[in-house]
Chain A
Amino acid sequence: MHGFANPARFLRMARWLMPALLVPGLVMALGALAWGVAYAPPDHLMGVTVKILFIHVPCVWLGMAGWSTIAVASVVELVWRHPLAAIAARAAAVPGAVFTALGLITGSIWGRPTWGTWWEWDGRLTSFLILLFLYFGYIALADAAQRDAASGGAAGRIPAIFGLVGAINIPIINRSVVWWNSLHQPPSITMGRSAIDGTYLWPLLIGALGFSLIFGGVVLARMRMLLAQIQTEARLRRKALG
Chain B
Amino acid sequence: MTTEAYAVDVDNVVKRFGKQTALDGVSLRVRRGEVYGLLGPNGAGKTTLIRSFVGLVAPEKGTVTVLGRRMPQLEVLAHVGYMTQQAALYPDLSAEENVYFFGAINGRVDGVREALEFVDLWDRRKSVVSTLSGGMRTRCSLACALVHKPDLLLLDEPTVGVDPQLRVQLWDGFRKMAAGGTSIVVSSHVMDEAERCDRLGLIRFGKLLAEGTVAEIKAKAAVDRLEDAFLKLSEASPA
A and B: bona fide binding partners: no
